[in-house]
Structure 1
């Protein structure tokens, strides 16, 4: 039977342009669980052709397949279309929504997340399978073979994602589950129960309290997925002890394993200390982006645009430093007599609701404001909440599991604007901060302890220089200890 509305050369061009990993994904999206032995170019060609012939699919099947791979270059070059033209009308016409979801999860899962998941599933998978896992797609394949998950049952994966702190991905699975008929009434027993789900539901009334439970020292080995009839961990007490220690540490500490460790955005609207902050956070292994002399609109645009770059999505932490004139409620950037950007709006731009890829990750804000009289600024309604969405929004409510304002350290310092008139002015607060961060790196100090040192410097400065007083507002909802590398 002939292919319908599809040029065979088109299939050849598409498969030739795919990497090995992408060919494995194609096989999975086409319904195969044997994604290794058939992942050659020829094998993938035959799979695509068989799909087209078997169910009389047209060229839209290829469009959807390439769109799922996010190979927009192939869409343009081979299929003569683009993402914008097809994304809004195509939907999921032919591919399994379940398999598209698993493919998307695999793309978004960082290496450290995968390591955590494979460790927690070590009692579910045989050792030889654990060693062969390259990405989350391999996990999904093995779970489907074991009948732990299916297009109708994904609660097992949702629970595992929650247990490795990828709440953003767990919410995507939950949304899918509801869309296919609601979550199952009886959840599958998950071997990842060593991490208690309720740790995410701690109230924020005492944000400085670590709400995450430690692993009990007397838990039996089978609770860690270790069984005497398996040789995977039971035969290596040292490996098991190290794994337990690492997992316990991860429950109490934000792990900064990405490279770079995080993204740091610095906006210097007075031209004094931006380079000093840039040097400091580069030494802490952050990717630093420095902007100077921005107006209010440009400042908002820069903040909103940080996570449009896909390479920033998998960083382990986020830092925002702003140096600006302002009032008690607004940042004025380089402008006056204009609408300002509300301080609380800056924080909301990166909370779990507006920026899901930062859910569960530490978000640090260091604001140096030079106070101007309130009469210089108009009402601050110019930048409404509707203006504050980022490209990371996925449309899902996040407050049910991770509180919207969790994992934030907010350090806001202000002093009088007249200090900027002094020659070669530098902020006492920012100098104290950079010094404490550098010393804290050497001592491996907690970020809260580092800020306590900053408080002491400011207190001593104010005592000696009452006319040049600095004020600090420090709040945090960190759920774990944070040690900057």
Structure 2
């Protein structure tokens, strides 16, 4: 049957509750705002096609969705595959696109009775707005509101466990089983990586022995490079995740202390430059706009959970307002920089163990205007149409090797952004990456040049200065060769 006819036939056979479930399971791939406006399965399928999640040549995600919501009739009748076939396919590492966390919540929603749902609402009355706890509110809707509120997440199940323990202990057992399986999977992944790593180390040791025994100049050069430079040969080299927050109307409306916070005009210039440069450096770009704090954490966790074994590096760029050690979502809620970076430790993300993890943050880290010392050779006034994005100390990155955190400014101080041409820090970073990577310069040399350039700039109104701050636990030189 024709691809579009298949989608049409499936949509005609999906009930309202099926659509609600499919939308919920797609939350990691389609923004909530867009999902909330979808009222017909055909609209959902169009959105999934736009995201290249389903196509005529690849129906695996559609099969996974139908499998998860137990629509076996549609799997066999229209997609001509059995439940067992899909189940075997999903057991292949990295093949599943729906988070296990999302599947857990869906399974819980399927097993909560009407009376238990009433108890859920009663126990959450202090946590969720009363206007949200209406009679017709479904369990899935409650889970979404809990996520928005920041009291439910992949690594934040305590509130859900507390409620389930009081409502139905069998629900609590499901959550604990999920946590146990997740822990076991992480341990197995670490053991597998260790086994592969030991074999790789053995080969490297053999090569090092041969190089050490040789007196040729080329062998000495290779020996030096083997010991001191991160491998950077995969294509793509890795994911470059860009989270770009521009519109803060919701924060102004919902958070009193942020009622004067501005939209981040000019930030799109930063996002576009980052996308251009990291594409040239052979990274796969993933760009998201206007995320709440909860969605920032969800996006970062999602890319923590994918399989990075065929990639050499991970880059995350976050453009938003901030304060000391935190970033603001567009809802005015806070996301901890430390918690975001810690998601990528060797235990939490084994497939990136031993590989460089880079985070670049354009945000204020306080509200103090940094004053410069008068040096006549370094004065450089910029346009007056600048805004502050109100650097972090070492505690914002894990105490583990292979991390780099590039902050737009040091702790307690503001950072500057032009309303038209982007921020001082990101624009300088991109310019130096674009210019210096083809010359073979390493990332720390590049960031030193960025520090020098940004420190020379002066904001006209308050004579404000800015000093970026890289923190790192890199063990080797990090170079992005231009092939």
- In the superposition, the TM-score normalised over structure 1's length comes to 0.45
- In the superposition, the TM-score normalised over structure 2's length comes to 0.45
Higher-Rg structure is: 1
